Chain A
Amino acid sequence: MAEILIVEDELSINELIRRNLNLTGHHCTQAFDGLSAVNLLENGKFDLLVLDIMLPGMDGYQVFERSFGTPTIFLTAKSELNDKLKGLAMGADDYLTKPFQMLELSARVEAVLRRTKKVETEFTLGDMKCDFDRHQIFLKGTVIECTPKEYELLEVLIRNRNIALSREKLLDMVWGYDFDGGTRTVDVHIQRLRHKLHLENHIKTVYKLGYRLEV
């Protein structure tokens, strides 16, 4: 749960980013031009700044200079290397080019938050609690025995909650690219998690896509 400021002049894209970040439990504030972004930065504390470079009035770089060191992900339609280098050289934490995918956005946001220690250390859903530091899962206060892969799968689902993840994607993220087993492995592990943690109502099967942890 992080406080994120989205600065993007295009209403549709600003809204899109807000909705995506809301899914994974972040709280978002929206700004549509440089000046109001700077005002918001002066008056509030944000854990992360998602900043478009091409803004009316004051451009993204200028906003960044007045951001009091808030971790920043630059967002732009420019994909030229120079722009990326400029952003990173100024001290931006990451870079996202339009068009982007949901998972890319959430992964980058998550990575920056983890680096800046703003990432959540535990997650609670009903009776279930997951401790990310100790890699332990609790159900009504008691530790549930599970395999490392089961734990990792649950963590991936929590980190990308409310987003449908395909079996292939889950296989990549949990087991790695070089895993030889088929996607059935994912189904088996999902079944075990649902059963062990009583998450039958939360881990949903999404038609033709995969699984989604709904919160």
Chain B
Amino acid sequence: MKKRTFFVMLILFLILLNSMLLIVSVIILNDKLSTARDKCLAEHYVIATSLIGGMQALEQRGNNVEECMDQLMSGYSRYLKGKGSYLAVSFSGEWIYESASIMSKENLDFPPEMDYRQERIVYMDNETVPVLCVYGSFPAPWQEYGLMYVGSLEDVVLSWRHTKNILFFMGAVMMLVMAFFLFQFLNIIFRPLRQISSASTKIAKGNYEIRLLVQGKDEIASVAHNFNLMARQVETQIQHLQEIAEQKQQFIDNFSHELRIPLTAIYGYAEYIQKAPISEEERYECTQFIMSECTRLQKMAYQLLDIALLREDELEKGDCMVAELFEQSEKVMHVKAAEKKINLSYNKSQNLLIRGDKEQLLIVLNNLIDNAIKASWPEGEICVSAYLEEAGVVVEVEDHGIGMEPDQISHIKEAFYRVDKARSRAAGGAGLGLSICEKIMQLHHGKLTFNSEHGKGTKVRMHFPKDKKESFTGL
């Protein structure tokens, strides 16, 4: 693009400049020629007049004009020879005198009867120097005579050539200067384009942080601005995709790890039973391990299916009273809490309404309470409450158990993540509970937040968005 512009502009300039120079040189040449012609005519006139005077004087003295012509002309010839001009005199169509023989008269075939004073520019046959011939017959009574003045145009041509050469040399210099400035100018014009091109190459190679400097308010600047917008969009998209890919990879890594343990155990115990001499007691223990590992696999498979298959359109969303939800949860959970002598209390004083699938919400709530029971010390206290916030209804499960470190909280929603590996596995968890809760909350357009202090306890909040259709949620 740049090269093309450069060459097109350069060629245009070249044509223009050269045609200008051509015209100028032609004008100069014409000008010089007309000056030279005027000069020749003037010389011819002067010489012709004085020659007539001379001839009259000769005739009065009674001399033969024709015979004395050489004498008469020699003075003029000498004078003119220094200037490179020549003279010739004709009488009745015959040349009776010529100052020098360089002219071949065949070329100067003036008709002797030519009118008085006619001129013609003639290029000599074997000479490169052009000459200007002026011929004129004399006035009566000397009309038989004619004078030819041949003026050399060498000076004119040489000086014109010189001028022309200078002109074209200057033209060439100007060309170079023009080419240089044009090149610089195009460089400046095309610099943003070049930057855009190099930036897009970098982006194509995977360097998504590249941004262009936006200068001014012209078209290029708006292109750069849009380019930056595009680059930012690409970067965020790529980051998003990378995050998703990382999450997937993490999930697969975790999953394969989780899968390997029960598989190792099942295979190992089966092989052991087959190949080792075992007692009845050992047989019981080994088969027990196989069965519990199978149960674990089964549980994991079901929970994974839950996560994968749960869709929003499968939810039976309706209005559910929080108090009702609490009552149902209490029926299931107070037994579990009682096993650890934990005081599980529900605060049902505020009557709030949530729009959602009651069964699924119960799963989330029970899961959170279950986690709270696991985290609590025996004879601890768990408080379940609900309240209204600006953004919507919040259900909170608070325990005073072991709590979590901040970096544990950041991982807690990941599939297969366990805060306390050994204990959670012993309790039969696969580390998928919160993943399911998170999924269910997402389907309700809500979210889970964790607020925990190590050694002091944890607060888990289920945030539900305000129902847009019915602005009131409290009674």
Contact = CB atoms under 8 A, between A and B. Distances in A.
B271 interface: yes
B261 A19 contact: no
A13 B261 contact: yes
Contact of A13 (B268, B274, B420, B426): B268
A interface, over-half SS: loop
Contacts of A11: 426
B260 interface: yes
Given A13-B268, A102-B268, A163 B292 contact: no
A33 B426 CA distance: 14
B interface, over-half SS: helix
A30 interface: no
Contacts of A190: none
Max count, chain A CB within 10 A of own CB: residue among B256, B271, B289: B271
A102 B265 contact: no
A10 B272 contact: no
Contacts of A98: 260-261, 263-264
Nearest to A215: B277
A32 B426 CA distance: 12
Interface residues of B, number: 28
A10 B292 CA distance: 13
B39 to A, nearest CB: 102
Q: A interface, how many residues as a size bin?
A: 20 to 34
A10 B265 CA distance: 9
A33 B421 CA distance: 10
Interface string B241-268: 0000000000000001100111111011
Contacts, number: 77
A69 interface: no
Interface in A2-36: 9-13, 15-16, 19-20, 23, 32-33
Contacts of A212: 275, 277
Nearest to B268: A16
Contacts of A33: 422
B284 to A, nearest CB: 13
Nearest to A16: B268
B257 A54 contact: yes
A164 interface: yes
Nearest to B278: A19
Given A12-B293, A56-B420, A163 B267 contact: no
A206 B421 CA distance: 40
B276 interface: yes
A32 B282 CA distance: 21
A126 interface: no
Contacts of A19: 272, 276, 282, 286
Contacts of A99: 260, 263-264, 267-268
Nearest to B257: A77
Nearest to B425: A10
Given A56-B422, A99-B260, A99-B263, A163 B276 contact: yes
A100 B264 contact: yes
A162 interface: yes
Given A19-B276, A77-B261, A98-B261, A9 B268 contact: no
Nearest to A75: B264
B269 interface: yes
Nearest to B290: A12
Contacts of B426: 11
A102 B261 contact: no
Contact of B260 (A77, A162, A204): A77
Contacts of A163: 275-276
B407 to A, nearest CB: 14
B263 A20 contact: no
Contacts of B256: 77
Contact of B269 (A16, A204, A214): A16
A32 B90 CA distance: 141
5 contacts: A12-B261, A12-B289, A56-B420, A77-B257, A163-B276
Interface of B: 256-257, 260-265, 267-269, 271-272, 274-277, 282, 285-286, 289, 292-293, 420-422, 425-426
